[in-house]
Chains A and B, each alone.
Chain A
Amino acid sequence: MAGFEHLLTALTPLNLAFALFGVVAGTVIGAIPGLTATMSVAVLVPLTFAMPTSSALILMGAIYTGAIYGGAYSAILLNTPGTPSAIATTFDGYPLAKKGDGDYAITIACLASVIGGLVGAVALMTLAPPLSQVALAFGPVEYFWLAIFGLSLIAALSEGSLIKGVAGGALGLLLSCIGVAEVAGDVRMTFGSQTMLSGIQIVAALIGLFCIPVLIDLVAQPGHHLKVDSGSRGFRLGEAVRYLWGDKINAIRSAVIGTVVGILPGAGGSIASLVSYSEAQRTAKPGQTYGKGEPGGIIASESANNATVGGGFIPTLVLGIPGTPPDAVILGALLVQGVRTGPSLFANQGEIVYTFIWGLILATILMLPTGLLIGRYAYRTIITLPKALLVPAIAFMTIIGSYAIRNNISDVIIMIVLGAFGWIIGRFGFTASPIVLGLILGPIAESGFVQAWTIGRATENQMGMFFGRPISIAIIVFTLFTLLSPFVLARLKKIKDQAHAD
């Protein structure tokens, strides 16, 4: 493997300590809803000025990868993605926890995160220069179709009524337009209100739509938050490893998807987890019930989002284009240190790069023991804390967390109002997931569309722009496949059932 000689440089006690500290701190921070990976990395930047570059990178990479994993805890235990990357983890993680399998879900998430993280890091080490070209091959129209592909998940996520799912998705897309338009000059849908001017912050919306309804229902009933089976069953590591082995194709495929999506500067961990979840669901084996507590859903989401860490570093280090928002912060820290990224970084300063990648691999491996321990601790805290303390503690975290994203009270108010609104419409079958999909994918779809349309108009080739580029065609085909296959299968099943009933 390239740069093997730098493994020893990475293994100094100082770097090991940084990797360990970073992973632990990142996991804890990521578990708190509202504290994102971007923020945890930004806080570290001033500390890194006085460090050797590779150690600074190891510290930031470790806290980043830890934070992405930590997001799974609140996704599983509270139905609230701690970071946007963990959004798809809620789909199956929370149902599993409700069934009393929260400890199992966390162990699965930990194993999947380590696998995803390793695949991403190995791709970074071995294939970075060629893979970085993926970042450049994706133009506006490809992002537009990628967002449409993500929206097609609505069909799968809307239990009950597809029409309600579509309406929820459209509502989410409209909500994403509030505030200053991203690629145009207008201020939209604020209706004169200063609170609305900054738009709906996506993490605050996630907290509101996912966590507030849980709280509202938690406070209304005397029983326990999560079902608890008698006695402690430990990590349930053996069970989790066996399951993962049986679902290894899913784990690897999701890691590869995560790596590739991580490379795309306009996407990120949330898209990666959604796309791989969609793929896992599409290829589900009979008997796997995605959305109702299927461990495979956690594997897909967590393996993919941790793979975006390594994937995101590829364009960051090779081209100087940050693959994900935390990468932008790390890139900034490097610039302040006087390190310019780009093709010659690998050639001239290979020692820094490879020491860092080994450090990242090390941190990912360290995530296995630390993640299991912290996860067990988080699980026990949640199940043992009495409700009269659990409710205020979670409510308090949602408030402080959604404030901290942009240091803005408006985000907290929007979070609570949106959450209450989400709870009300949820009672009538309008679920939160399609709205959130619309919110996340809206800006990507809109800017991609406006840009592609502008270019298409200028080159007088709209058809070719939207339907003539190879990557676009591939995404369109995938979208149609994902959309149509469940319908066809359901229709077949219905015919079969009717035949039985008659």
Chain B
Amino acid sequence: MQTDDRKDTGGAVISAVMIGIACLVIWDSMSYTDPDSAVFPRTFAGVLIAASLAYIGMWLFGRAKAGAAQEGGASVRRFLLVAVMLGGTMAMPVVGFIGAALPVFAALTLIAMYDPWTRFRVLVYPLIGTAIVLGFFYLFREVLLVPLPTGSLFEG
């Protein structure tokens, strides 16, 4: 909590992004045929703009203080986590649920691995991972009747 005198420039930038989003909403609302559907988004786009402007104003006058600085950490791993999840999900309609889930699971295991790879871990982690994926696959598909994607690659 020693950063109390730090100006919250990041917060101001996000506020500017919020104003952009609000303007997009207002622009979109011009195309509605039913006036009832425009009232609500316009009102709250206005609220968003007002709040964001107020924050930017506070920042200009040096009254917007940043909170405690976030701790560091491995940003590469963070980015990879999101990228792998997103990529796997987008691949799912093509390669099917199992085809996407197993590689994603394996990749995430590697990304989240901080301990050394002992022989035990090399043998057991993939087994557990496969068991979890297949177990959930079975639970969702056969018990909960969720039509999981089969993948266009494997369809006649």
Report if A and B touch in the complex (beta carbons < 8 A): yes
Which residues of A are at the interface with B, using a C-beta cutoff of 8 A? 29, 35, 39-40, 43, 160-161, 163-164, 166-167, 170-171, 173-174, 177, 181, 183-186, 188-189, 191, 212, 215-222, 386-393, 395-400, 403-404, 407, 409, 412-413, 416-417, 419-420, 425, 427-430, 442, 445-446, 449-450, 453-454
| Residue of A whose beta carbon sits closest to that of B89 | A412
Distance in angstroms between the alpha carbons of A427 and B8 in the assembled complex:
11
> In the complex, A386→B124 CA distance in Å?
12
The answer for the CA separation of A163 and B65 in the assembled complex, in Å, is 12
Mark interface residues in B46-65 (1 if CB within 8 Å of A CB, else 0). 01100110110010000010
Question: Which residue in A191, A387, A393, A412 is a CB contact (below 8 Å) of B114?
Answer: A387
Residue of B nearest to A407 (CB): B147
B22-50 with Cβ < 8 A to chain A: 22, 24-25, 28-29, 32-34, 36-41, 44-45, 47-48
CB nearest to A177 among chain B residues: B41
Contact (A43, B143) CB under 8 Å given A215-B81, A219-B74: yes
Chain A: CB-nearest residue to B37: A184
Are A163 and B75 in contact, CB atoms less than 8 angstroms apart? no
Q: Which of B34, B77, B89 contacts A184 (CB 8 A)?
A: B34
Decide: A163 and B51 in contact? CB cutoff 8 A. Answer: yes
Contact count A vs B, C-beta below 8 Å: 201
Kindly state whether residue B95 has any CB partner on chain A within 8 Å: no
* Chain A CB within 10 Å, residue with most, of B14, B24, B128: B14
Interface size on B, residues (CB 8 A): 78
Chain B residue at minimal CB-CB distance from A165: B51
Measured between alpha carbons, how far is A215 from B51 in the docked complex, in Å?
30
| A164 to B21 CA separation, bound complex (whole angstroms) | 15
Q: Which of B39, B54, B111, B121 contacts A391 (CB 8 A)?
A: B111
Report B146 CB to chain A, min CB distance, Å. Answer: 5
Q: A174-B21, A220-B77, A387-B114 are in contact. List 14 more A-B contacts (CB 8 A).
A: A166-B51, A171-B48, A177-B41, A186-B32, A189-B28, A221-B74, A389-B132, A391-B111, A392-B106, A396-B133, A429-B8, A429-B66, A446-B40, A450-B39
- CA A413 to CA B89, docked complex, whole Å: 7
Question: What is the CA–CA distance of A453 and B35 in the complex, to the nearest angstrom?
Answer: 12
Residues of A within 8 A of B106 (CB): 392
Question: Is the CB–CB distance between A416 and B28 below 8 Å?
Answer: no
Is there an interface contact between B146 and A403, defined as CB atoms closer than 8 Å?
yes
Contact, CB under 8 Å: A400 / B10: no
Q: By CB atoms of chain A within 10 A, which of B15, B44, B64 has the most?
A: B44
6 A/B residue pairs, CB under 8 Å, sorted by A: A161-B64, A219-B112, A389-B125, A409-B92, A429-B67, A442-B40
Q: Is the CB of A185 within 8 A of B33?
A: yes
Residue of A with least CB distance to B76: A220
In the complex, are the beta carbons of B47 and A170 less than 8 A apart?
yes
**In the complex, are the beta carbons of A392 and B105 less than 8 A apart?**
yes
Most interface-central of A220, A221, A430 (chain B CB within 10 A) = A220
* B81–A395 touching, CB < 8 Å: yes
Chain A residues within 8 Å of B113, by CB: 387-388
B69 closest partner in A (C-beta): A427
Quick check: A392 and B82 within 8 Å, CB to CB?
no
Whether the Cβ atoms of A425 and B28 lie closer than 8 Å is: no
Tell me if B144 and A404 are in contact (CB < 8 A). Answer: yes
Q: Which residues of A contact B75 (CB under 8 A)?
A: 220
| Minimum CB–CB distance for B31 against chain A, Å | 8
Tell me whether A395 and B108 are in contact in the complex, defined as CB-CB below 8 angstroms, given that A161-B55, A403-B146 are known contacts.
yes
In the complex, the answer to whether B145 meets A43 with C-beta atoms within 8 Å is: yes
**A395 in contact with B78 given A163-B58, A167-B55, A454-B36 (CB within 8 Å):** no
Give the shortest distance, in Å, between A204 (CB) and chain B (any CB).
12
* One of A221, A395, A397, A450 near B136 (C-beta < 8 A): A397
Q: In the docked arrangement, what's the CA distance between A219 and B113, Å?
A: 8
Shortest CB–CB separation between residue B7 and chain A, in angstroms?
A: 12
When the two chains form their complex, are residues A188 and B81 in contact, meaning their CB atoms are under 8 A apart? no
Contact B48 A188 (CB under 8 A): no
Given contacts A167-B51, A216-B81, A387-B114, contact A392 B109 (CB under 8 A): yes
- List residues of chain B with CB within 8 A of the CB of A453: 36, 39
